[in-house]
Amino acid sequence: MTEGPARHRTVDTLFFAGFVLYLLGSLFVLVQGAMAVVASVSPAFHETLHIEGLGTGFWARVATRAADASHEVPTALQIVWDYLFSFVNLGLAVFLLWLRSRDWTARLLALALVGAAGVFNLTSQAVLEWLPFTPLETFAQVAAHVIAGLAYVFALLLFPDGRPVPRWRPARVLPLYAGLTLVVVFLSLRLEGESRPATLLLFFGLMVPATGAAAQAYRIFNTEDATGQAQARLLFWALLPSVGFGIVFLILHGFSPVANVLAGRNIPDPPVTLYRSFQPAFALIPVALFLGILRYRIWDIERLLNRTTVYAIATAFLTAVYAGFVVVAQLLLGNVAASPLIDSKPAVAITSFLLLGAFRPVRDRVQVFIDRRFNRSRYNAQVTVERFVEDLRHEVDLVGVVEKLDQVLVEVIQPRHLSLWVSEPTPRSPG
């Protein structure tokens, strides 16, 4: 009986442990880049890193990379763009996981976005390249690419309904997916040692968007639901520029512009053109996903947005009230710090209790306001139910009650079909 849930819990635990680990890895890469940026403007920090780097071991390598790379950090605009890209990806990943923590499509997307945040940050990647990789670092780098690539490919195959495409029987889909996995892993292992930029180009530049675009094209032609088609169309058009860009780049340049012409020497030579070209094209994918989720209210996002908005407004309102209270007190009593009303602990406690007490009524009123203003259907449903409850107090005729119930259900639930069964009272046999 408990085998199923126990297995789910184990899988969930493993996934979240892996996700946290992957997130930490990605953050580590970003922090490494940030260290170099700080060192480039702070001689004291630069010197500290060098002293740390004179030791040996993991942290010495981290410090040396950051200190050495600090002399060639990109321009401020490029750094801002790199980190904006990364944080948008990371933010969206955490948000997706929070929204749909049990949904495997959301989980895969979250993994993919976390990977992309680290992989496509040139400021950080250039720092990593500064020292040749140890075998462990090479393994971590390859693993990070494989995870991000596979997660992206499969997330786009499953998005948004979690049903794999093509809609074949599992016996036919599984070999296809297994083959795809093998190709991705093989390409990654084959190319990683020779040209990391080539891997990036094949993996993220071509394979991810091409697979995603193909999957969404399949959905457009094989989904009858108009909303589903619109979702697929949005994602398809967002992926297409990346596919086109990858193909054009490959035709025009092959891998030559990213190959190191002085092979065998460890000369940091980050593929700036490749990164800078692909970043905007690749940034379209998470943006399109987010827009799709918002526009088509996938994964109950409207409930989350509604709740976030209500709490934000209620909190802001009460904060404003408190601030207003302080200002008024200041005007009436002079210096705030010296005011016994503000400074005394009982006053603070009373104010806090008042605010806590006011929170719920305020939140309810804000909820009504938001529903009335932005979520008309929900507001109408609520009003209709309230009116029905009121009518029941006065209605005594069963036929009238049934008619009204029928009317309310249609209005609130909007079912395709409705039938109502009223049980006949069983006549009691005389004593």
Partner 1 sequence: MRQRIRSAGRWTWIGGLMIALVVAGCASPAGDAITVRVDYSHDEFNTQFIQYFPDQIQVHPGDTVRFVQDWTGEAHTVTFGTAVREALETNRPLIEQYGHLPEDQVPPEIFEQFLEAECTLPVLFSECEGPPSESEAAGEAEAAGTEPEEAFPPIDQSIAQPCLIEEGAIPTDGGPCPNQELGAFDGTEAFYNSGFIGFETDRENVFNLEVSESIVPGVYPFFCAVHGSFQNGVMEVVPADQPIASPNEVNEQTREELNEVVEPFRQVFAQAQGGEIVMGGEAFSGNFSGLVDEQVQGLLNEFVPETITTEVNEPVTWLMFGPHSISFDVPEYFPIYDVQEDGSVTANDEIFAPAGGAPEIEEPEDPTQPLVIDGGSWDGSGFWSSGVLFSDAYVQYTLRFSTPGTYRYACLIHPPMVGTIEVSG
Which residues are at the interface with partner 1 (CB under 8 A)?
A: 9, 12-13, 16-17, 20-21, 24, 47, 50-52, 54-61, 64, 67-68, 70-71, 131-132, 134, 261-267
**What is the maximal distance between C-alpha atoms in the chain?**
106
Smallest gap, in angstroms, from Cβ of residue 27 to partner 1?
Answer: 12
Closest CA to 95 of 246, 301, 351: 301
Query: How many CA atoms lie less than 13 Å away from 112 in the CB half-sphere?
Result: 27
Smallest gap, in angstroms, from Cβ of residue 130 to partner 1?
Answer: 9
CA distance 207 to 199: 10
Phi, psi (deg, nearest 5) at residue 310: -60, -50
Q: What would the two tokens of residue 284 be?
A: 């379209």
Nearer to partner 1, 17 or 402 (CB): 17
Those residues whose C-beta lies under 8 Å from the C-beta of residue 243, and which sit 6 or more positions away, are 206, 209, 210, 213
Smallest gap, in angstroms, from Cβ of residue 261 to partner 1?
Answer: 5
Smallest gap, in angstroms, from Cβ of residue 348 to partner 1?
Answer: 32
Q: Write the burial class of residue 335 (CB in 10 Å: 0-12 exposed, 13-18 middle, 19+ buried).
A: exposed
Nearer to partner 1, 71 or 307 (CB): 71
**CA-to-CA separations, 337 to 308, 333, 334, 393, in angstroms, rounded:** 34, 10, 9, 57
Smallest gap, in angstroms, from Cβ of residue 114 to partner 1?
Answer: 15
CA distance 272 to 129: 13
**CA-to-CA separations, 339 to 59, 252, 277, 328, 342, in angstroms, rounded:** 51, 73, 59, 12, 5
Those residues whose C-beta lies under 8 Å from the C-beta of residue 405, and which sit 6 or more positions away, are 388, 420
Nearer to partner 1, 131 or 173 (CB): 131
Q: What would the two tokens of residue 63 be?
A: 């410090």
Smallest gap, in angstroms, from Cβ of residue 139 to partner 1?
Answer: 14
391: left (phi over 0), alpha (psi -120 to 50) or beta: alpha
Smallest gap, in angstroms, from Cβ of residue 23 to partner 1?
Answer: 10
Q: At what angle do helices 170-192 and 135-158 cross, to 10 degrees?
A: 150
Angle at CA 108, nearest 5°, toward 106 and 113? 90
Nearer to partner 1, 71 or 387 (CB): 71
Smallest gap, in angstroms, from Cβ of residue 74 to partner 1?
Answer: 17
Q: How many CB atoms lie within 10 A of CB 51?
A: 11
Please report where in the chains the tokens 């409705």 appear, as a residue.
418
Nearer to partner 1, 131 or 381 (CB): 131
Nearer to partner 1, 114 or 215 (CB): 114
Smallest gap, in angstroms, from Cβ of residue 50 to partner 1?
Answer: 6
Nearer to partner 1, 19 or 204 (CB): 19
Nearer to partner 1, 25 or 292 (CB): 25
CA distance 12 to 101: 9
Nearer to partner 1, 256 or 429 (CB): 256
Nearer to partner 1, 20 or 385 (CB): 20
CA distance 409 to 401: 12
Smallest gap, in angstroms, from Cβ of residue 148 to partner 1?
Answer: 19
